[in-house]
Amino acid sequence: MRQPTVADHLRALGEAPEWVLSLGEAICEITGCPAAIAASRARDLSRNHEIGRGLECLLKGWRTLDAQDVTALSPMQLESLHLVIAHMLSGLRQKVKGAQEADSPQQEVGV
């Protein structure tokens, strides 16, 4: 018997656009999490359309880059790739950190 796929889980959760399926499959493939978890994460991310679509596009780009042989790139091309990815990662980390800090309850100081 085959294991349920991300598509199977998304169908069970209700109708989902093609990009949500693509996002779920990418989450499953890249992180190695179970199909049910990936489907749930994709469905949850789809509630914020711009963030969900942005992540789906980013993951498509990652899959494309990951499949390529970068050994033939020139030093300048490698540096450009590294520079862009480093800046993206830094920016995303700052955004996530800021969002987490905004969500965390402030500790009260005893008087």
61 is a domain residue: yes
98 is a domain residue: yes
Average pLDDT for the chain: 91
107 is a domain residue: no
* Average pLDDT of span 74-102: 94
Between CA 107 and CA 9 the distance in angstroms is: 40
State the pLDDT at residue 103: 84
Q: How far, CA to CA in Å, does 12 sit from each of 8, 24, 36, 102, 108?
A: 6, 14, 10, 34, 44
End-to-end CA distance of the chain: 63
- What residue numbers bound the domain in which 61 lies? 1-68
Q: Residue 101: what residue type?
A: E
Q: What is the pTM of this model?
A: 0.79
